[in-house]
Structure 1
């Protein structure tokens, strides 16, 4: 199947290139020109389908609602999200919901079958933090990506959190899920806060890529990954994403990436400097993070 798709794509590209050679007013009929070029006449009249604006807007709207329900009830799978969407008046099927969830990189966070079976894929590395005690900043960081809805369209936010202090040590907003955006976030975090001992992530394609692994090796960072379907392994950064969306993203509407970026920057700044945590004896993340280094000095 993959072979036929590749062959079709090459043929389509070739036909589109040949179309530029066809001229309707050069003395030869279109049929004769196609015969001389050895191409099918139907390809000359082919016009690529332009995505319908209404379909694009509907897709954005559906992704926003899926993200809303996933954030509100992260244990909802595609069936329950579909039920909520249908009750809201959307006439769609489960396959479309599953496809959009896959595109957004979200899954229901609940224990699934075969948790004891090891994933032997070469790209996956072990989870290093089970029963692991964190005693100081930069000992363990977590990194993850989340979908951020906008009034028109969407963005993706990469964030990195320090386990010990709950400080957001880095974040980066982009319009793609490309691995380069992840690498940029890691480099910026290291440049601003130093090199962590362990960096934990899920098993997403960006984190199993050779470029990501190579970057961590260059820094001497030990890579850790959540177990398969073990959503709780990276719960610290997941909780932060949920707080961001429920407190800042959903109550507001943002018309541009610049506006959204300013909001997230402000939220991260206030979170690190103002927001106290019960688990930190009601101290703020910056106080715990920098205070630990002051005590060492």
Structure 2
């Protein structure tokens, strides 16, 4: 019935609900009609009266007739949602609407449409973010993914300028989880640097079954055997090479390197190599534990790498289902699982009421206390 009433007066069901609540609170809700048993609220005259009441309590700016925005701004996002979107955009200027949507879903349990986020960014004056498309080739259009963690590690180099010096960044990514298992900032793209980075990554995260690289001189050689190949043979690790002259197949690792370029190197100037190494260490820690990834269902790489994504996904779904009726909607209920970064302020203990159920949140974990008696 609500859908038919909203359609008859030319508004949305959300606006109808807000107007109805405002009239009910003011005590001016029209009486039910004896003839049809349907509230007289469905008439245009009664709806105009309710609109006038609602507008006196919360005046809304006028929207031009030619605008593509909703007829009533109240039908859009709340102030807390708009603030969260803009906060993420200011913290990550290169993020587009889809990436911001992934952060809201993972850390707040919100499901906000990409179009709504794009509208908020456009109204706030942020320019649109454009990304280059995938390379076109003759391979299968589906994206391949490793079946489990440590099945495949991808490696790639990137040259970076630090002051007047040139350094080379090697990144090692787990294909299944997108977790960065290792990196090194070296003076050049050498096999020795690759072996050192692999040794440290294996010490911390275990041995991969296979590594996947391009045909760079640090990984393979035409006439000779590189130090990297000798190490891989000794460790019984398979080595797969990307096809010569084919950009396909390395999209995941190249995406990480592009993210480093956009979100770190183009925003922060490092005067020394030591500062750059500290900045990279913090960046990859945030990337692994505090940055949702669209390619893995808005999870963070650590959720997949450490095998906890079923629990996190269930929690996101539960928060999303309770969102509309949550009394603690404006509270900071971030779904953190990992320890916070150094100096980061977090809520350690929080009592939350959701509907008529009480919950206790301790260090990011939820304990259901039971029903709250009136």
Q: Normalising by the residue count of structure 1, what TM-score does the alignment of the two structures yield? A: 0.54
Q: Take 2:189 and 2:201, find their aligned partners in 1: how far apart are those partners?
A: 18
Identify the match of residue 171 of structure 1 among 177, 183, 188: 183
Whether 1:223 aligns to 2:239 is yes
Question: CA 1:292–1:207 in 2, change beyond 3 Å: closer, same or farther?
Answer: farther
Task: Report the equivalent of 2:271.
Answer: 255
Task: Report the equivalent of 1:184.
Answer: 196
Identify the match of residue 155 of structure 1 among 167, 170, 182: 167
Q: Take 1:132 and 1:225, find their aligned partners in 2: how far apart are those partners?
A: 15
Task: Report the equivalent of 2:8.
Answer: none
Q: Take 2:192 and 2:157, find their aligned partners in 1: how far apart are those partners?
A: 13
| Structure 1 spans left out of the alignment, 5+ residues | 1-108, 117-129
Task: Report the equivalent of 2:210.
Answer: 198
**1:196-230: per-residue Cα shift (whole Å, max 9, x none)?**
11100000011004311111111111100100111
Q: Take 1:186 and 1:288, find their aligned partners in 2: how far apart are those partners?
A: 21
Question: CA 1:233–1:157 in 2, change beyond 3 Å: closer, same or farther?
Answer: same
Deviation at 1:148, TM superposition (A): 1.0
Matches within 5 A, 1:138-153: 138-153=150-165
Report if aligned partners of 2:155, 2:253 keep a CA contact under 8 Å in 1.
Answer: yes
Whether 1:245 aligns to 2:257 is no
Report if aligned partners of 1:276, 1:284 keep a CA contact under 8 Å in 2.
Answer: yes
Deviation at 1:142, TM superposition (A): 0.2
Q: Take 2:216 and 2:187, find their aligned partners in 1: how far apart are those partners?
A: 17
Identify the match of residue 279 of structure 1 among 289, 295, 302: 295
How many residue pairs were aligned? 172
Q: Take 1:132 and 1:219, find their aligned partners in 2: how far apart are those partners?
A: 25
Task: Report the equivalent of 2:32.
Answer: none
Deviation at 1:164, TM superposition (A): 0.5
**1:150-199: per-residue Cα shift (whole Å, max 9, x none)?**
22112111110001000000001111222211110111111111111110
Q: Take 2:143 and 2:306, find their aligned partners in 1: how far apart are those partners?
A: 25
Question: CA 1:293–1:137 in 2, change beyond 3 Å: closer, same or farther?
Answer: farther
Report if aligned partners of 1:136, 1:164 keep a CA contact under 8 Å in 2.
Answer: yes
Report if aligned partners of 2:163, 2:271 keep a CA contact under 8 Å in 1.
Answer: yes
Q: What is the DSSP-based 3-state SS (H/G/I as helix, E as strand, rest coil) of the residue aligned with 1:232?
A: coil
- Any runs of at least 4 consecutive aligned residues in structure 1 with deviations exceeding 2 A, and if so which? 109-112, 130-133, 292-295
Task: Report the equivalent of 1:270.
Answer: 286
Q: Take 1:186 and 1:243, find their aligned partners in 2: how far apart are those partners?
A: 22
Report if aligned partners of 2:303, 2:309 keep a CA contact under 8 Å in 1.
Answer: no
CA root-mean-square deviation = 2.6
Task: Report the equivalent of 2:340.
Answer: none
Question: CA 1:288–1:111 in 2, change beyond 3 Å: closer, same or farther?
Answer: closer
Task: Report the equivalent of 1:210.
Answer: 226
More helix by share: 1
Matches within 5 A, 1:72-91: none
Q: Which of structures 1 and 2 has the bigger CA Rg?
A: 2
**1:98-144: per-residue Cα shift (whole Å, max 9, x none)?**
xxxxxxxxxxx9679xx99xxxxxxxxxxxxx985522100111011
| Structure 2 spans left out of the alignment, 5+ residues | 1-133, 312-374
